[in-house]
Structures are given as C-alpha cells and as structure tokens.
Amino acid sequence: MRQFTYLTPKTLDEAISLHVAHGESARYVAGGTDVLVKIKEGKFAPDYLISLKHIIGQDRPFLNQETGELYIGAFCTHGSIEQSPLVQHHYPIIHDAVKNIGSVQIRNVATIGGNLVNAVPSADGAIPLIVLDSKANIYGTKGQRSVDLQRFFLGPGQCDLEAGEILTEIVIPPPLPRTGSAYIKHGRREAMELPMLGVGVLLCLEEDMTTCAKARICLGVAAPTPFRALAAEKYLKGKTVDENNLTEAGRLAGQESKVRDSIRGVAWYRREMVGVLVKRMGLKALERAKERHK
C-alpha cells in the first residue's frame, strides 16, 4: 500500500488550512472504511491524510433545545448514532438504517459524514436523512453554508463539496406530529452487506390519523443518487393510508425509479422490490405514527 503522512488537526480551521497547504496531494479521512479501501485499490494516492476524527464537538448527536432540531455531527460513528437514545426514540428510521451498516467493527469506526460524502448510490445513511428533510452544514475557506441533503448528491461518487470543504453536520428538523417513518435495507445476507435496494418512507397524517398529509419516499440504489419518488409521494398526499393505496404508491415508485442491472441485482427484481418495500415501509411508518400518537 502507498505510504502517506497522517495529520491530526484539532479544529475545523486547522484541518482546512492543512488542506489548503497540501492541495490535491491531501485527502480528508474520518473512519477510513472507504478511503483506506480506495487507497489499497489504488483509486486514491494521497501523500497526506487529514484526519477529522480528532476535531472536538462533532462526534455525537445532540438536540438543539431552542429549535428542537437534531444535530448529528458528521464525525459521529454509525455505532454512536445506533446507540443514541435520542435517535432511537425520536428518529427510529435512522436507527433502522445505521444498525445494519457493515458490521459492529465497521460501525465503530465508520462515520455518517463519510457515508454521505462517499456518495455511492448504496449509502444506507443518506436515505432516512433525506426522508426527514435534513440539511447538510458545510464548512470551508469561504465560511459556512447549508444545503438540503437531497441536493447534496450530484452523481455516483460526487457530492456538493468544493475542494477543501468539510461536511460538518446534519441538521434534522424536529419530528412532525402524527408522523412515522421506516427504512429497510434489502440484501442477500445479514451483515457486511451493501443494499441491493434501500427504501425509506415517511408518512405524516392529518388529525383523522388516516389521511396522508405529507409523504416522503426515498430510494437507495434505485438511481445514480438517492432518489425521491415524487410521483408516489404526490399520489399518497390527501389519500387514505391503507394497503391498497400504498401498493399503488409502491407501483408508481417502481415505475419512476431508475433501477438497472448490475452484479448485485437485476433491474426487474429491484423494481418489483421497490413496490413491495414501499408498501411495507409505508405500513410500518403508519404503525409508528399511530404508536407515537397514543
């Protein structure tokens, strides 16, 4: 494996100035579960790895008491998110996703920020966060900016980060009333698995607890980037949430998805599973909404 110098800045500003100093010969690294694999495969050949793991304050989820928003630092490991009572209680959909990423060992080092900036179509972490209308906070030489996470992904392996910019945290709006959400990874085994398909559904109900006020459906591996099934979402809005309507929403989501054949799965099967799993996650979201409303 190629040799590199490992740098350990303690602040964001220090990290950025190191990046400015070393330019293209430097790369940020957090957990390293993607970066090191790519270095070993020869896809990256950095002279400097700038570790973001020693930067203080971005390593666990916390609730903004004033706004009710949940902040998840980009350098939180999947393991710390999985074990966070805040996440488990208020955002079970995130728990659904992070608890099945890789293995215990991977989750103990890999970070949510790394999962997002890696920007692969199969990123488990992205789907629930998009379903929750999260924003990404980004910090760079020009200061801080914020983008809708949905717009953060530009293509496979490409995200909205300028050279040297760092994804610092994810901001999740406060949970809506009468709302439930759920995520499922569809794969071939129980661990060390990339999804053949990832499906996240959020349903916000009217006061009658049966009519859909707002729906969010986001799919992983169904397109080059995390994919919002807008036609299916639109179909559900104002309709009774039941198995029939969710089946139709699933069908629509399957139709609008851009699934394709790969060694990990064939398009027809993926499209069919979009249908089945949108329905199932819809039913689970409904159940969770009702539970929370009790």
Partner 1 sequence: MQNLCSVGKRVPKLDAVDKATGRVKYIQDLKVAGMLYGKILYSKYAHAKIVKINTTRARELPGVLAVLTGDDIPDIRMGVYKDNRPLKKEKVCSFRDEVAAVAATSPEIAEAALKRIEVTYEALPAIFDPEAAMKEGAPLIHEAHKTNVLKMPWKLHYGDVEAAKKEAAHTVEDRFTTTWVTHCCMGTSGAIADFDPANNLTIHTNTQIPSLAQKDFLEALKTMGISDRRVRVVKPCIGGGFGSKLDTYAYEYIAILLAFHTRRPVKIEFDRTEEFIATSTRQPTITHISQGCDQNGKLLFRDIAMILDNGAYTSWGATTPSVMMMPITTLYRVPNVRYEAKCVYTNNTYAQAMRGYGNPQATYAIESTMDMLAEAAGIDPVEFRRINANQPGDVSTQGLRITTCGLTECMHAVKEKLEWDRPRQAGEGIGMASLIHVGGGARVYKSDGCGTIIKMDDFGKIDLFTGATDMGQGSDTVIAQIVAEELGLEVDDIHVIHTDTDVCPWDVGSHASRTTFIAGNAALGAARKLKARILEMGAKLLESPLEKLNLQGRHIVHQDDAEKKMAIGKVLRKAHFSHGGQMLMAEHFYDPANENMGKDFRGNMSMTYTFGTHGVRVKVDEETGKVEILQYVAAHDVGKAINPLLLEGQVYGGVMMGVGYALTEQVISEKGQNMNPNFRDYKILTAKDVVPIKAPVLETYDEDGPFGAKGIGEPGCVPTAPAIANAIYDAVGVRIKELPITPERVLAAIREKKGLDLCGQAVDKGDADECIIEE
* Min separation Cβ 78 and partner 1, Å: 15
- For the chain, the residue count is 294
Stretch that binds partner 1, among 125-133, 156-164, 208-216, 259-267 (CB under 8 A): 259-267
Does 259 engage in binding with partner 1 (CB under 8 A)?
Answer: yes
Parallel, antiparallel or unpaired: strands 153-155 and 143-148: unpaired
Tell me which residue has tokens 């070993």: 40
Longest dimension (CA), the chain: 62
Distance in angstroms (rounded) separating the CA atoms of residues 177 and 206: 9
Query: Cα separation of 148 and 242, whole Å?
Result: 30
> Which residue's CB is nearer to partner 1, number 230 or number 267?
267
Q: Does 45 bind partner 1 (CB under 8 A)?
A: no
Interface pick for partner 1 out of 265, 274, 281, 285 (rule CB under 8 A): 265
Return the structure tokens found at 54: 């020693």
Taking CB under 8 A as the rule, does residue 204 contact partner 1?
no
By CB under 8 A, tell whether 214 contacts partner 1: no
Does position 248 interact with partner 1 (CB under 8 A)? The reply is no
Site string (76-115) toward partner 1, x via CB under 8 A = ---------------------------x------------
From residue 183, give the alpha-carbon distance in Å to each of 17, 116, 177, 207.
38, 16, 19, 24
Residue 271 in contact with partner 1, rule: CB under 8 A:
yes
Distance between CA 287 and CA 244 in Å, rounded? 16
**For partner 1, the closer CB: 245 or 247:** 247
Which CA distances in Å does 42 have to 26, 29, 123? 15, 16, 22
Cβ proximity to partner 1, 21 vs 191, nearer residue: 191
CB of 44 within 8 A of CB of 27? yes
Give 14 or 272: the residue with its C-beta nearer to partner 1.
272
Instruction: Record the tokens describing residue 200, joined without a space.
Output: 């996240």
Rounded distance, CA 236 to CA 246, Å?
Answer: 8
Least Cβ distance, residue 263 to partner 1 (angstroms): 5
Asked whether position 273 contacts partner 1 by CB under 8 A, the answer is: yes
Tell which one of 43, 142, 151, 188 touches partner 1 (CB under 8 A): 188
Say if residues 270 and 221 touch (Cβ distance below 8 Å): yes
Residue listed under structure tokens 């666990």: 60
214, 269, 290, 292: residue in contact with partner 1 (rule CB under 8 A): 269
267 binds partner 1 (CB under 8 A): yes
| 261 part of the interface to partner 1, by CB under 8 A | yes
Question: Contact with partner 1 (CB under 8 A): which of 89, 192, 209, 238?
Answer: 192
Binding site for partner 1 (CB under 8 A): 103, 186, 188-192, 194, 258-261, 263-269, 271-273, 276-277
